[in-house]
Structures are given as C-alpha cells and as structure tokens.
Chains A and B, each alone.
Chain A
C-alpha cells in the first residue's frame, strides 16, 4: 500500500515537472512569436516610412532642380531626384501589398526617375532647362507634393488606429475589397486612384516625348511581338518538322517529338488563349528520357528563338576546344546572320558566349545572342536569340553616320584606361534611343581583375556610357 502511494507521488511529481517544462517551452515560444511579429511589423513600418522619406526628399529635390542655375548644380540635383524616385519605388516593393497595386504611384516614380536621367543626359548639349522642361518639373513637383500631404494624413490615421502591417499578407488594394474599408489602407487606394498619371503622359507628349516608347518593358515588347506573330505563316506540322531537322543535324541520339504547347491553356476549367509568339517543341531522347531538348519556333517565319538542351554535364575536359566556327554555323542554320563574339564567361562547367551581329563595321549591341557550351565535350547545349528577333529594326544601320573616326574618339577616353579592345557599336540607351558609338574596353593600371567599357558618341565625342563588365557576373 505504502509502495503504491510512493509510486503515485513519484508519477505525480514527474507529471507536474513535465507540465512545468511544457508551460515554460510554450511560454518561451509565445514570447518569441510576439517578438518576431513585432520585428516584422517594424520592418514593414520602416519600408513605409522610407517611402515617405524618399518622397519628401524627391519633392525638395525637384524644387532644387527648378532653382539650379549652373549646369553642375542642375546635374547634381537631377541625379538626386532620380535616386530618390528609385529609392521610393524600392521601398514600395517592401510593403506587404500585391505587386499590381499602387501602379499609378510606381509609374509616376518611374517616369520621374527616367526624366531626371534624360534631362541630365542632355545638359551638356543645350545648357540648362528650357521653359517647357521647367514647367514639366514643376508639374511633377506639385504631384509629388500632393502625394506627400496625403501620405502624411494616412500615416497619422494609421497611428491613431494603431494600424499594424504584420498581419497583412499581400494586400490587394482594390476598391471592391472590403477588408480595409474604413481603414488607413483606403487612403492609399484613393491616393493612387486620384493620381492623374494621364495628364503627366500628356505633358510629356506636349514636350514631343512619347514616353511610352522610352518606358517599354520587355513584357510589352513581347506582347507586341505576339500580335505581329498572330498572322502566322508556319503551321504546327512545319514547326515540328523544322525543329526535328535542326535537332537531328546537331545531335546523334534518337528523339521523340511533341509540340507540348498548344494555342490554349486550361485555367479553372476554361480555355484561355495563349499569348505566345512561338511553337514550343520538346524532344525526348528515347534512350535516356532524362535528356530533353526544348526548341521554340516563331509562328511567323519559323525562326528558332530558343534552343535548350538538358543533359548531365560531366567533368570539364580541358583538352576539348570550343570551335567558334561550329557555333556560328549552328546559329546561321537557326536564322542568325553575321555574328561575331563579344564576350565569354565561364560558369562552372558551362561557357557562355555572347555574340552580336556585325553589319559593315558596326556591332549591333541590342541584338545579342547567348550561347551555352558544355565544357565536358564542347557541345553547344543551348542558345537564345530573343533580343535578335525582338529588335530586328536595329539592324537597319544605313541612317547612321559618324563625324569622328576611331582615332579621334580615342582622344576622348580617359588616359587611365589601358585599352585592350575597340569597336564601332550601335547601342540602345535606357531611353531606347539608338546611338552610334566607339567602344573601348580595357582595365585600370594595377587592377587587371576588373574590365571597363567606355562608349564615346561617334558624332559628338561625348562620353555616353562607362560600364563595368564585372557587374554582369552572377
């Protein structure tokens, strides 16, 4: 009896101890969770406040642009406006709202960022801003000022409501949503909806600037390309035949072919039309089904946009040499003409070679084609020519003339650059303008690890771009 009682006591004590440990661990987790929620809220709040700060700076800097009388000050202040617009845009990206909300605000910031760079670029050529440009900057300043006022009110409301960001998950700011009705978030929706982005676009058009052309995104270009391809001349059977012929010429294995992308995709039980400018062909190696080749054939001309072979890449064989002529022959077969190599970069067992078309003596930089070579046997495992086909117009170089020859252009290059290579190139700047330049590639004294590119306008001698090649390394 006594022994039984003692056992019970022991069990009871163990139970109490275990319960204590459980409560302790649970409480510790609860505290950690609260700490993390608070930390998360602080981060979101910080992003929101950063957006406010950058918008505030932007308003002041646009004012400073209006007051600048010397080119130096003007250039500095224009750079500052671009930087603040960039930072405000970046801060919006860190607030837990859906990607496609506050579009007007993001669009306006993007336009200011672009316009600041555009004006800064032109300062040397025309000394200061003209009346229309001053008016444009003033209009932008007024709009940013209004946003600032409203954001301040929204911020106050958030504080009064003890608004918390941490429980917001990809908030879709849409007037039809009721989740945030009567909250500070409604203020953000109204702010964005009331932002008159159309008038900004019209103001730019009054200045003779079709801003949409400058701000075209890749997605827009592809949407246009898709429309152009709608008048398809290549049938599915022809595309399949073309892909099979191409694959068999450059591969020894036996493949099964399939067009695995039709014109439609089924989403939620409904057929939705695809906006794809190409037929996608998949080839499966019948002896090793893990090996696959994907080829995209354009619907209009039957060109090969993409060739992507997936296979195991073995150990690198140093004695295998990459035969450049083989690469050019394969690309020519796929529809790419007059290509020359501009860059080579190794990524583990892959060598990535960038080529551009060279017409007469001009390299068309916007038409680049990338090729991947497996270093185990020197095989070309993939290439992509999206830019080559997307920017075909750029290859019409007849209208471009030069006032300077390459020797004269070299005089404009800083003497600290040890020039290793030079060429005449057609580049597209951020504003999508094509500019004929002389390109000088080299390194600084005592710093041979970094390579720099300097581009000199072939007509004015102006230094158009300085770039570092290392920035591109992944």
Chain B
C-alpha cells in the first residue's frame, strides 16, 4: 500500500514537473490591435509600460513611458530606447522576461504613444518605484517628484 502511495506521489511530482516545463505561459489579455501597428521600439515601450504599470491609472502608465523617454535623453543612461529598456536589471519585468508573456492592452498602447510624443506627468523623473516592494534602498536617496497610484517618481 505504502509503495503504491509512493509511486502515485512520484507520478504526480513528475507530471507537475513536465507540465511546468512544457506549458507556455502566454496570457492573452484584452490586447489592443493598435499594438501591432507600433514600430518595434514602440512595442517594446508598450510591453514595458504594460507589465510595469498594469492596474495603475492611465496617467501612471504614461508616467512609466515618460521615465523611459527621459532616460534615453539623460547622460547617465544609454542613448537608445532598447539600450534603456534592456539595461541589465533596470526593469524587473524585462529582467525576468515577463514582458513577453502579455500583449499590451489599448490603455498601455495609448500611454506609450503619449509618452513617446512628449507627455511627461513625472516632470523629468528618471526613476520610479513601489515603496512597498523596494528591494534596493539606494533609490530613496533620489528627489521625489510625485506619487501616481502605487508608484513614486523621482529624479
């Protein structure tokens, strides 16, 4: 009897392991058809905005896009959009690959277009963080500009 339970348990472990290995986690949210009309760089911003700020108010999503654009123009960051987004560990969802699991919705796409074209509710901010989830405390040394939703934006 014990042996049967052991083998059954083993089968379950194996099944879970194989399922975890094989199932591709692509979640189709209410994706925006507008997303596919964006340029590759635009899509990259939209993916980052969506995964970083999903659930935040619209202005908060524009703000995340604006931080990306501000970094591109700033001397301390890479000079291109992809350079900024792929900078190692700059954006957690990029580092862990979450940006590829979702297709941005219409709100994130519009936020991307606005941020790319100059809307900046963060007034030149270069950083943002969720105070409840910060793991690297150096960011507290930056000057706070404002809070939007759960994110604090800082220069």
Binding site for B on A (CB under 8 A): 8, 11, 14-15, 18-19, 21-22, 25, 29, 44, 86, 89-90, 93-100, 103, 106-107, 110, 169-170, 172, 174, 215, 217-223, 225-226, 261, 265-268, 272-278, 280, 282, 292, 294, 296, 306, 308, 310, 312-313, 347-350, 352, 368, 370, 372, 382, 384, 386-387, 473-474
Contacts and interface: CB of A to CB of B under 8 A. Distances in A.
Interface string B95-132: 00000000000110110111011111101111100010
Given A100-B76, A275-B145, A349-B34, A474 B39 contact: yes
Contacts of A278: 123
B7 A292 contact: no
Given A223-B124, A308-B59, A384-B119, A94 B146 contact: no
Nearest to B131: A267
A66 B6 CA distance: 79
A474 B147 contact: no
Contacts of A382: 114, 119
Given A268-B131, A313-B106, A474-B117, 20 more contacts: A14-B7, A99-B76, A99-B127, A219-B74, A222-B124, A222-B155, A223-B124, A261-B146, A261-B148, A266-B131, A275-B144, A278-B123, A282-B59, A308-B119, A310-B110, A352-B117, A368-B118, A370-B119, A372-B114, A384-B114
Contacts of B113: 347-348, 350, 352, 372, 474
23 contacts: A14-B7, A15-B7, A15-B10, A18-B14, A25-B18, A93-B84, A95-B88, A106-B75, A172-B136, A225-B123, A273-B144, A274-B147, A275-B123, A275-B155, A278-B123, A292-B57, A348-B109, A370-B118, A372-B113, A384-B118, A386-B123, A474-B42, A474-B117
Given A98-B138, A107-B75, A276-B146, A44 B119 contact: no
Interface string B60-102: 0010000000110111111110011011111000000000000
Residue of B38, B88, B138 ringed by the most chain A CB atoms within 10 A: B88
A294 B17 contact: no
A443 B31 CA distance: 36
B79 A86 contact: yes
B136 A170 contact: yes
Nearest to B10: A18
B27 interface: no
B133 interface: no
A296 B144 contact: no
A121 B7 CA distance: 77
A278 to B, nearest CB: 8
A352 B110 CA distance: 12
Interface residues of B, number: 69
A274 B58 contact: no
A348 B76 contact: no
B145 A274 contact: yes
Interface of B: 3-4, 6-7, 10-11, 13-14, 17-18, 21, 34, 37-39, 41-42, 45, 57-59, 62, 70-71, 73-80, 83-84, 86-90, 106-107, 109-110, 112-114, 116-121, 123-127, 131, 136, 138, 140, 143-148, 152, 155
Given A96-B89, A350-B113, A352-B113, A219 B10 contact: no
Given A280-B146, A384-B120, A90 B10 contact: no
B41 to A, nearest CB: 7
B76 A106 contact: yes
A276 B122 CA distance: 8
Contacts of A15: 6-7, 10
Nearest to B32: A348
Nearest to A218: B124
Residue of B41, B123, B124 with most partner-chain A CB within 10 A? B123
Q: Which of A225, A268, A310, A387 has the most CB of B within 10 A?
A: A310
B17 A22 contact: yes
A227 to B, nearest CB: 12
Contact of A110 (B71, B75, B138): B75
B126 A219 contact: yes
Contacts of A312: 106
Contact of A44 (B88, B107, B145): B88
B88 A94 contact: yes
B73 A99 contact: no
A370 B117 contact: yes
Contacts of B136: 98, 170, 172
Contacts of B75: 89, 106-107, 110, 215, 217
Nearest to A226: B123
Nearest to A19: B10
A281 to B, nearest CB: 11
Nearest first, the 7 A-B pairs at minimum CB distance are A93-B78, A222-B124, A96-B88, A219-B124, A310-B58, A170-B89, A474-B42
A348 B84 CA distance: 26
Contacts of B126: 99, 219
A217 B79 contact: no
Contacts of B90: 99, 170
Given A90-B80, A93-B87, A296 B17 contact: no
Contacts of A97: 88
A308 B114 contact: yes
Contacts of B131: 266-268
Contacts of A93: 77-78, 83-84, 87
A473 B39 contact: yes
